[in-house]
Amino acid sequence: MYYKILIYISTLLIFTYSDSTSATTQLFMAGDSTMAIKETKDYPETGWGVPFQSFFSEQLTVINLAKNGRSTRTFMTEGLWQQILDNLQVGDYVIIQFGHNDESAKKKERYTTEQEYQDNLTNMIEQVQEKGANALLMSPITRRYFDKSSDFKISPTHPYSPLVKKVAEKTKVSFFDMDKITREYFEKMGDEQSSLRFMHIKPNLHPNYPNGIKDNTHFNQLGAREVAQLVLQLLRANNHPLIHYIRKPDPKHLTYRY
């Protein structure tokens, strides 16, 4: 029920905050399952966009339209991208992160060629800029596949990641290489500890997965929160304008120490 409510609220906010008199800045999130809000039936799978939106004050409205299984092409053909454009205002922000599904050559319904992928990202960025808004481009999140023959390094699985950087350089937009950053983060953690951040559930432990699941692409709540925290650290390190919308801590919390 919690995730259904989040999906409803995210959709509702598009229409609630879309008029030009809105006092808040909007941050739209365009991406795939690694970012998306989930349904209760998929819990504890969690997209990093869910904990990420809790980092900001009421002065920033976060609207997460990321959706499972979407590539740049299907995100546009299904009208999700148009929803963003229709409600985008001057000074707003859009995080764009695709790749997992664009790369899936065996799934023709979502696959894009390297050139199509770059063209789609470029068009998205140009359309955001035409609206007077700001794009933040990200490479896809790493998959968790350790190569035991290579000192337990995580094998790179995103051939399209260099293309994202190429588009960012061409369009001169902010760029976070989340593939590299998350790969190094989970790699340093090691095989056993990193598995606790992904959808690894043994049989008969969760009603949604009675036979268990071992998924090295999607996060549970802990993994999603930690990836969201990595993004927050990058925003601060790059002095990105979004840091001005980070919520102020409760004064009581300032008395806590780690």
- pLDDT single digits (tens) 103-140: 999 999 999 999 999 999 999 999 999 999 999 999 99
When pLDDT is averaged across residues 146-157 and rounded to a whole number, the result is: 83
The pLDDT of residue 17 is: 39
One-character DSSP codes across 66-79 = --TT--HHHHHHTT
When pLDDT is averaged across residues 195-224 and rounded to a whole number, the result is: 98
Of 142, 246, 236, the closest CA to residue 197 belongs to 142
Of 147, 235, 141, 154, the closest CA to residue 189 belongs to 154
The continuous run of DSSP H or E covering 226 comes out as: helix 221-237
> What is the per-residue pLDDT across 56-87, written as a single tens digit (0 to 9) for each?
999 999 999 999 999 999 999 999 999 999 99
CA dist., res. 4 & res. 10, Å (int)? 10
Structure tokens at 196: 């606790």
Residue 162 one-letter amino acid: P
The pLDDT of residue 14 is: 44
Asked if 195 and 244 touch (Cβ cutoff 8 Å), the reply is no
- From the CB of residue 24, how many other CB atoms can be counted at a distance below 10 Å? 18
For residue 25, report the phi and psi dihedrals to the nearest 5 degrees: -85, 150
Q: What is the pTM of this model?
A: 0.90
Task: With a cut of 60, say whether residue 89 has pLDDT above it.
Answer: yes
Give me the percent of the chain exceeding a pLDDT of 90.
Answer: 88
Task: With a cut of 70, say whether residue 146 has pLDDT above it.
Answer: yes
The three-state secondary structure class of 97 is: strand
The three-state secondary structure class of 154 is: strand
Task: With a cut of 90, say whether residue 18 has pLDDT above it.
Answer: no
Of 12, 92, 4, 94, the closest CA to residue 50 belongs to 4
Where residue 150 falls among pLDDT bands split at 50, 70, 90?
Answer: low
When pLDDT is averaged across residues 223-233 and rounded to a whole number, the result is: 98
Cα 12 versus chain centre, distance: 20
CA dist., res. 241 & res. 56, Å (int)? 12
When pLDDT is averaged across residues 144-173 and rounded to a whole number, the result is: 92
Task: With a cut of 90, say whether residue 206 has pLDDT above it.
Answer: yes
Where residue 23 falls among pLDDT bands split at 50, 70, 90?
Answer: low
The pLDDT of residue 5 is: 45
Averaged pLDDT of the chain:
92
- Sign of the C-alpha dihedral, residues 205, 206, 211, 215? negative
The pLDDT of residue 152 is: 80
